[in-house]
Amino acid sequence: MPGSKLDPIDRHILAELQADGRMTNVELAKRVGISAPPCLRRVRTLEEAGFIRGYHADVDARMLDFEVRVFAMVGLTSQAEADLSAFEERCRGWPLVRECHMLNGEVDFILKCVAPDLSTFQSFLTEELTAADNVASVKTSLVIRDAKDEPGVPFDVLEDRLSRSA
């Protein structure tokens, strides 16, 4: 398990940065119990190894008048690797598509989309998504409200698993 290759301090660094990626290195070092220079070296190593992929602001879409959030379940005509890759590439070019995940089962992909209003999403749906090559079906579900929206991974579960395997 890749998480087990990290020591407890590295995992603590990741958990703290996941919770607050804006804290200073000095504050991070204090929280994980080491001095600032080795903390910064560890963070850089975690970045270079790919454990930290980036830092992002959690932007409130509604505050920017993006009122519509939709999950679109997409079925493709062909699941050949070239066709799957072509659809993924197309998704990367659609600004309203914020997430694209390939699934196992009846649906080939689920897309998380945001739009300022329903007519903008409907135009995207009819002019772009359903018109795209290889798209056989699209079913959509409008998000009414969020019950939970947590980024990243549950570090407490990771630590529990590691303590049981030790």
Residue ranges, CATH 3.30.70.920, the chain: 62-142
- Burial label for 111, CB within 10 Å (0-12, 13-18, 19+), is buried
The residue length of the chain stands at 166
> pLDDT over 90 for what percent of the chain?
87
Q: What is the CATH number of domain 62-142?
A: 3.30.70.920
pLDDT tens-place string over residues 11-42: 999 999 999 999 999 999 999 999 999 999 99
Distance CA 134, CA 138 (A): 11
**pLDDT tier for residue 5 given thresholds of 50, 70 and 90:** confident
Asked whether 47 and 10 are in contact (CB, 8 A), the reply is: no
Largest CA distance in the chain: 56
Both tokens of residue 6? 């990290």
pLDDT tens-place string over residues 42-100: 999 999 999 999 999 999 999 999 999 999 999 999 999 999 999 999 999 999 999 99
Residue ranges, CATH 1.10.10.10, the chain: 2-57
- In the predicted structure, residue 4 carries a pLDDT above the cut 60: no
DSSP-derived secondary structure letter, 64 = G
Q: Is 2-57 CATH 1.10.3720.10?
A: no
**pLDDT tier for residue 165 given thresholds of 50, 70 and 90:** confident
